[in-house]
Amino acid sequence: MQTPAHHRALFALFFAALVLAGALGLAACSPGNTVTDEFRIGLLGPISNNPARFGAHLLAEARVAKINSQGGLEVGGRKLKVRLIVADTAGQTERTMSAMSRLIQQERVSAIIGPYYSREAIPVAAAMESLHVPLLTPSATSPELTRGRTFVFRVCQVDSEQGAALARYAYEDLGLRRAAVLFDESDAYSSGLAGFFQKAFAAYPGAVAHREGYSSGTQDFQAQLARIRAAGAQVLLLPNFPADLSRQLPQARSSGFAGLFLGGDSWDTDMGFHSLPEAQGAVYSTEFFPATADARLLGAAQTLAAQSGVELVKNAALTLDALDLLFAAAKNVGSTDPVSLRSGLAALRGFEGLTGSISFTDGGDPDRSVNILSISGGAEVLRLRLGPARQ
């Protein structure tokens, strides 16, 4: 659950975003933003100060370079050069807002890819909606991001659906009845996914879901884990990021927890901890798994990754899909005007990307395919492939 202090801070960011939107509105709507020989796209990514060695922007730049080497992207009967302007957020909300301002006011982008984390994407989304410029995040999963908005889209699964899918898998497929959640109270992704899982799991007959929160920066989780073990949990959801997971998995086993570890798509942001002995047998959901990807798209992405010196991980694959979704939208409407692009995105059905099938059938949350994976011998193994639910 998010704390009152967190809500106050988030409100302040929303207010700042709306003020910024008012200040930039005229500039964003000027003819110079819509009539150009380039398709200008911004990318907000945590390039520096990122333990997961973020490199998705390098893969995106390689994709754009290849298109430009072929004469550009055909839009409305003419070839347009694509220009990708990358801005480093450093994982900081204030810096993200400043970078967004520059991309729109100075660079006159037609759309922005990113931010990648919900805590940064939520305030940016408020401003982008007021500016009527499309925002397409590869990996921010909080439902708050798109709620009530028509210019904000995501490529990844949404936390509410991810939580329900994990709860259903634990209860129906595995037959488990007692669950627990250990989550970061100050992180929008972690607390959000924890809440959705708990609500969905507890709704099943005879099911019990215990929850334990902690503050960011916590190193010792023994107190929470002792209560989780006392609750008789058979499955422990850890909707957290690798830095915390690398501590939580060993501490949970040393505390006596012998049940199943369950995770969300944050488990795929840096897979170094997958080699831990305690991670073996854990199950998590993710949008990208090479074995289920289209062979032609996968081959092309792997070639780009090798040329760029980038590992083809989930966020990189989602970023390529974000680019291709914008390209498809521009081609379909024959324009790179921001308002037209929004209409083009909203109308996309059955888009086949590197991370699977994607459709926008009801707002900015995609109806998409998802993988349920397990970790075995440090590698990922497909347990279940869930197709789009609303097609």
Same domain, 71 and 206: no
pLDDT attached to residue 201: 97
Same domain, 9 and 147: yes
SS3 annotation, 239-270: CCCHHHHHHHHHHHHHCCCCCEEEECHHHHCC
pLDDT attached to residue 188: 85
- In the chain the beta strands, taken as DSSP E runs, fall at 38-45, 73-75, 78-88, 111-113, 135-137, 152-154, 178-184, 208-214, 235-237, 260-263, 283-286, 351-353, 356-359, 367-368, 370-376, 379-386
Answer yes or no: is 376 within a domain: no
Same domain, 82 and 202: no
Answer yes or no: is 381 within a domain: no
Same domain, 163 and 280: yes
Query: What distance in Å separates the CA atoms of residue 348 and residue 330, rounded to the nearest whole number?
Result: 11
User: What is the count of structural domains for the chain?
Assistant: 2
CATH number of the domain bearing residue 17: 3.40.50.2300
Domain boundary among 286, 310, 329: 286
Answer yes or no: is 249 within a domain: yes
Answer yes or no: is 221 within a domain: yes
Answer yes or no: is 84 within a domain: yes
Same domain, 229 and 354: no
pTM beyond 0.85: the answer is no
pLDDT attached to residue 19: 47
Same domain, 110 and 37: yes
Answer yes or no: is 379 within a domain: no
Same domain, 246 and 313: no
pLDDT attached to residue 51: 52
pLDDT attached to residue 210: 97
Same domain, 81 and 208: no
Same domain, 250 and 298: no
Same domain, 21 and 96: yes
Give the closest residue to 117 by CA, choosing from 86, 96, 102, 147: 96
Domain boundary among 286, 307, 340: 286
Domain boundary among 245, 260, 286: 286
Which long-range contacts (C-beta less than 8 Å, at least 24 apart) are formed by 220-223?
Answer: 220/251, 221/182, 221/247, 221/248, 221/251, 221/252, 222/251, 222/255
pLDDT attached to residue 15: 47
Answer yes or no: is 138 within a domain: yes
Give the closest residue to 63 by CA, choosing from 314, 303, 288: 303
Same domain, 282 and 300: no
Answer yes or no: is 163 within a domain: yes
Structure tokens at 48: 């520096």
Give the closest residue to 122 by CA, choosing from 4, 215, 13: 13
Q: What is the pLDDT along the chain (391 residues), one digit of tens a residue?
A: 333 344 444 444 544 554 454 444 444 444 334 445 899 999 999 988 765 567 899 999 999 999 999 999 999 999 999 999 999 998 889 999 999 999 999 999 999 999 998 889 999 999 999 999 999 999 998 899 999 999 999 999 999 889 998 999 999 999 999 999 999 999 989 999 999 999 999 999 999 999 999 999 999 999 999 999 999 999 999 999 999 999 999 999 999 999 999 999 999 878 889 999 999 999 999 999 999 999 999 999 999 999 998 889 899 999 999 999 999 999 999 999 999 999 999 999 999 999 999 999 889 999 998 899 999 999 999 998 877 653 3
Same domain, 9 and 144: yes
Q: What range defines the domain where residue 50 resides?
A: 4-157+293-367
